[in-house]
Amino acid sequence: MNDAVEPTVRKVESYIDGFFWILPNLGLAAVVFLLFLGGAWAAKQAVIGVAQRRDRGNLGTLLGGFVKWAVIVLGLLVVATIVFPSVKPADVLATLGIGSVAIGFAFKDILQNWLSGLLILYRQPFRSGDQVKSGEFEGTVERIEARATLIKTYDGQRVVIPNTDIYTRAVVVRTAFPMRRSEYDVGIGYGDDVEEACRVILGAMRRVEGVGSDPEPEAFAWALDASSVNIKVRWWSDSQRASVVHVQGRVLTSVKRALSEAGIDLPFPTHVVLLHDQTEESDGDRIRQREGWPKGDSPPRPRHLNELRISRGGARNGAADDHEASSAKGGPNAREGDNPGRGWLRPARADAGGGGAA
């Protein structure tokens, strides 16, 4: 045999001999691994079964998957020691320990979400079917997975929220209790009897379908607003979103009808606009300083609301012509009430020469 190829041939022969030498170990390792696979599946089903009997199906699914992969990894370690007898389990565990640190840094977010999901499923601050609000999202919890929580919003959209965000931020569980309180401010006129209005409102709410009787609805004076006396109206209904919305609509309809039938005013907002430079002589001393004009000995002349003064440049000799338009009855001395159309400002109408007032 050629001396050049003899080392290679011997190497190949040693590999073949080694393969046949460990072939029984490979067969035994395959059988052991299949047993571990079966044990992993059985362990997963056992965990899921125990969790479902305790009404914790989502937690069972998450823990069952974890137990399954833990058994499979243990089986791989046993197979490695069978196939390669020189390999010690302690060395393999040390290698896995170093590798797990690297894997932990690489998949930090995934592991955080998984642990958060495990804690959520274990402590159960909410369950599938609950209506919750997390941050800007609100809806019904569809399911809690290993990485995220799935929420279906009220308008039919799906929101996937990482479990870490759910676990570390405040979450409002709307359906944690069977009943939820709603409230609304109803404004009545200042001339109306507040106690009578409260009795009318309470009577109207008690007749509404869906309003709870324990605790009973409430109505009491709450605020003295600019143009109304506000009455705080409170009632309890089923905590589901659909019930809350529909009951509120029926409550407001019934309250509005009852107040109207009782002759109680439901006022519109009232705004008062005071124009200080359009006052009358009867307003008092116009020499002292007031809002709208400076202090001095030459106060502005009072003007009527129907009067408008327009300054226009471009007159002859570079001077400005002032054009003053007055109401149809009386010019600058016309009083409010003389003109049925008071309150409107009428523009000036200049003549052809541009010098006089219309």
Give phi and psi for 340, each to the nearest 5: -60, -25
For the record, the structure tokens of 160 come out as 């996937």
Give phi and psi for 232, each to the nearest 5: -80, 120
Q: How far apart are CA 329 and CA 309, in angstroms?
A: 17
Environment class of 229 (CB within 10 Å of its CB; exposed 0-12, middle 13-18, buried 19+): buried
Work out the angle between the directed axes of helices 57-83 and 108-123 (0-180°, nearest 10).
Answer: 130
Q: What is the mean pLDDT of residues 142-153?
A: 91
pLDDT band at 272 (very low <50, low <70, confident <90, very high): confident
| Fold annotation for 179-261 | Alpha-Beta Plaits (3.30.70)
Environment class of 170 (CB within 10 Å of its CB; exposed 0-12, middle 13-18, buried 19+): exposed
Over residues 149-207, the pLDDT tens digits come to: 999 999 999 999 999 999 888 999 999 999 999 999 999 999 999 999 999 999 999 99
For residue 268, give the amino acid letter: F
What is the chain's mean pLDDT, rounded?
76
**Confidence check: pLDDT of 15 > 80:** no
What pLDDT, on the 0 to 100 scale, is given for residue 63?
79
What pLDDT, on the 0 to 100 scale, is given for residue 243?
94
The Cβ of residue 329 has, within 10 Å, a number of other Cβ atoms equal to 11
CATH code for the part of the protein at 14-106: 1.10.287
- Do 14-106 and 179-261 have matching folds? no
Over residues 54-89, the pLDDT tens digits come to: 777 777 777 788 788 888 888 887 787 777 776 666
Maximum average pLDDT range among 75-79, 142-146, 219-223, 305-309: 219-223
For the record, the structure tokens of 150 come out as 């799935």
**Cβ distance 231 to 222 under 8 Å?**
yes
Per domain, the residue ranges of the chain are 14-106, 125-173, 179-261
Q: How far apart are CA 151 and CA 174, in angstroms?
A: 13
Residue the block writes with tokens 């569980």: 173
Give phi and psi for 298, each to the nearest 5: -120, 75
Q: How far apart are CA 96 and CA 91, in angstroms?
A: 9
Domain 125-173 matching CATH 3.40.720.10: the answer reads no
